[in-house]
Amino acid sequence: MSQVTKSKKSDLNTAFTDNFSQFVQELSANAPLSNVRQKAIEHFASVGLPSGKAEEYKYTPIARALEKHFTERDTLPANDPLSSEAESGVRQFLLNTDANHLVFVNGRYHEELSVIVSPEDELRVCPLGEAYKQYAQVIDRYFSSEATIESDPFVALNTAYAQGGVFVHTPKSKTVKHPVICYFISDTASQSIMAHPRNLFVVEENAHVKFAEIFHTIGEGASYNNAVTEIIIDRYAHVHYYKYENESTQAYHTGTTQVKQQDNSHFHAVNISLQGAMIRNNLNIALDAEHCESHMYGLYMLDGNTHVDNHTVVDHQKPNAFSNELYKGIINDKARGVFNGKIYVRQDAQKTNAFQSNANILLSDDASVDTKPQLEIWADDVKCSHGATTGQIDQEQLFYLRTRGLTKIQARAVLLKAFAGDVIQHIGIDALREKIEAQISERLEQ
């Protein structure tokens, strides 16, 4: 008979709830948000982390994974100062480009590593902790207004424990010359890390701005980032938003990006996931006015045991809006991809154009993907389409390139780069795009 050993499971639900008061005590000068936090933890206490049966987390048993890899004590934020090795480790992640660079390590803002170059009349940018003091009114108005605590247990948890993250406010008609790049680094060299970054981007009428959120890890320990970003886009504004995840194989991530668009606004999102233990990205866009335009691109290029789950929701509430979504997966080894894309077209939203496509290439017998496009349409005069494909690398194309002298590895790299290129080309910060391209090339040319 085989012996069964029960692995130790932490009770994180209780730990998060019990540790909350200690966490709030240690936070200072956060009076404006204490009510919101309190409500959030109460809600979290009532729902808990999603169980294996929860429909939205069916393919991604993140709660179970967290209970296995983290202890109750990990639920309190780390307070250790940054070691000099960690500091140089962080510096290597910074992109060499003129931009506002905001660096967070283990949920704390590091001013000495950060650079803010945009003038204040063009862009107000500061870590959320500072912003409470200066922009209480704007924050009170928008914080937790779109990413509501009832929408998802992880959003509730983030709202209670939000620490580290950026507040960005772009005034009316300003074109922000330098992008805002936020780095969320987990330094796990000496301990397991949990962090709850919270970003709030408020873009006023007719303003133009680009954001990036970058997630990396230092060290071999376990890390968990539970991020929430709210993006409020006023009329005629243009926002580009890039999320890039390339972490250690012990890094867990849940993230919700909640977007609200007003009339004639444009939103472009590109989400690139290259490595982690288990990553769940929610991208939810509410098109609450006419003539909005949204573009969503995603690439998950996975190997080893990495698990990446992308859930997107586009909610067409008003007429004459356009949305287009293209998510692509390249999955190797025992890695797993999940794609769930929902498009809602409400009864009011006549003349909606909504398109969605998900394409996957599986490179090994053990790689897998679960893809579920969902379209729900209540209006009767719309153009909508969705589709999903999963296949292998095209042998004809591979043979063709090899008859020209390319090695099997080169030919495969050419084909997969072209496949990924449809997504990557939409990254409008050159240094970020080039870095991701280099990362992908390196992986393909191994």
Partner 1 sequence: MRMLKINNLKAKIEDKAILNGINLEVKAGEVHAIMGPNGSGKSTLASVLAGREEFEVTDGSIEYLGSDLLEKDPDERAREGIFLAFQYPVEIPGVSTTNFLKTALNQIRQHKGQDPLDAVSFLKMMKEKMKLVEIDQSLLSRSLNEGFSGGEKKRNEIFQMAMLEPKLAILDETDSGLDIDALRIVAGGVNKLKTKDNATIVVTHYQRLLDYIVPDYVHVLYNGRIVKSGNKDLALELEEKGYDWIKETADSATA
| Residues binding partner 1 (CB under 8 A) | 394, 396-397, 399-408, 410-411, 414-415, 417-419, 421-422
Nearer to partner 1, 316 or 412 (CB): 412
Do the Cβ atoms of 186 and 195 come closer than 8 Å? yes
Nearer to partner 1, 31 or 409 (CB): 409
Q: What is the DSSP string of 23-49?
A: HHHHS-S-GGGHHHHHHHHHHHHHH-S
Least Å distance, CB 389 to partner 1, is 13
Pairing of strands 166-170, 198-203: parallel
First and final C-alpha spacing in the chain: 43
Nearer to partner 1, 372 or 402 (CB): 402
Q: What residues contact residue 266 under an 8 Å CB cut-off, 6+ apart?
A: 237, 238, 239, 292, 293, 294, 295
Least Å distance, CB 318 to partner 1, is 35
Least Å distance, CB 412 to partner 1, is 11
Least Å distance, CB 329 to partner 1, is 16
Nearer to partner 1, 378 or 400 (CB): 400
Sheet arrangement for strand 322-331: 108-109, 100-105, 180-187, 208-218, 238-246, 266-275, 293-302, 322-331, 353-362, 383-391
CA-CA distances (angstroms) from residue 33 to 17, 40, 186, 308?
Answer: 17, 11, 25, 32
Least Å distance, CB 421 to partner 1, is 5
Q: Return the C-alpha torsion angle 259, 103, 245, 202, nearest 10.
A: 10
Least Å distance, CB 300 to partner 1, is 18
Sign of CA dihedral 143, 148, 152, 157: positive
Nearest Cα residue to 172 out of 254, 244, 237, 219 = 237
Q: What residues contact residue 301 under an 8 Å CB cut-off, 6+ apart?
A: 272, 273, 274, 329, 330, 331, 420, 440, 443
| 386 token code pair | 């969705």
Nearer to partner 1, 182 or 416 (CB): 416
Nearer to partner 1, 11 or 394 (CB): 394
Nearer to partner 1, 381 or 396 (CB): 396
Least Å distance, CB 326 to partner 1, is 13
Nearer to partner 1, 334 or 417 (CB): 417
- Give exposure, 198-232, as e/b (b: 16+ Cβ within 10 Å): bbbbbbbbbbbbbbbbbbbbbbebbbbbbbbbbbb
Least Å distance, CB 411 to partner 1, is 7
Least Å distance, CB 436 to partner 1, is 16
Nearer to partner 1, 239 or 420 (CB): 420
